[in-house]
Amino acid sequence: MQKNALSLDQDVVMLHGWGMNAAVWDGCSACWQGLDQHRIELPGHGASPFQPRLDSLWSWADACLEAAPEQAIWLGWSLGGLVALAAALRAPKRVTGLILLTATPRFVQAVDWTPAMPETTLDQFHADLAQDPVATLARFLALQVRGSESARDTLRTLRQELDSRPPPQPDALSLGLDLLRDEDLRGRLPDIRCPALWIFGSHDALVPPRVAERVECLMPGAQTRVIAGAAHAPHLSHPTATAAAIRDFLDGQAACA
């Protein structure tokens, strides 16, 4: 594995999930204390513009790389994790480490990939999005906290954060669902050489914690951590445990440098 030194004062690029915005990081400051944060909004989310040329995972990664510092740790939540993986493949010298928060290299089920969402779930989101974007986002928020020990409080926080920034653009939401449905980076994981930490929630209804076992096989050297009692937003529902996992990872890599 590439020996990149990670430190608590290093730049960290932070990518939110589908339908979200940069405000999702506001409620969990303990997780990022001491890190030089660069909160980048995905194309068409929050205040980030959306252009027709941004029509693929790789173009989304390129757009985020354009806004990112020359070198940084990349932290991605859910869809943001998929974009962070693409950035690490696209520009390996610029991504010094990865922290992947309830992310997965493949979001939908396959014969050889059962710990994932049924494709019909995303198809239904697509159909609902065309009819009522606001209600579809609300349903997605509820799904993210399902099973969490503090589901009600986490859902309230997510709603407040989402409302604090401009609403996502419908075209960006539609393409984001396409990326969640169609992208499969499992075969590319061994090509990523930087240190990596994958954090999962034990009660996640979108990215089951069993993905951790698959990641350990596909990405030798990667670390995994499952946050007990958390669903799809452990940084909001369990900030102390999530912060501890991130600190342990950064401290361990700094000691090995």
- Summarize the annotated binding site for substrate as residue ranges: 18, 78-79, 140-144, 232
Which tokens hold the place of 30?
Answer: 């303990």
Cα 109 to Cα 120, 174, 184, distances in angstroms: 10, 19, 11
3 state SS of 68: coil
Between CA 115 and CA 222 the distance in angstroms is 19
Residue with token string 């608590």: 8
Residue type for position 164: S
User: Are 228 and 241 spatial neighbours (Cβ–Cβ below 8 Å)?
Assistant: yes
Decide if 207 contacts 107 (C-beta within 8 A).
Answer: yes
Q: Which amino acid is at 110?
A: A
The most distant pair of C-alpha atoms in the chain lies apart, rounded to whole Å, by 52
In angstroms, what is the C-alpha Rg of the chain?
A: 17
Residue numbers belonging to the annotated binding site = 18, 78-79, 140-144, 232
* DSSP E strand stretches across 44-138: 72-77, 95-101
List active site positions.
78, 204, 232
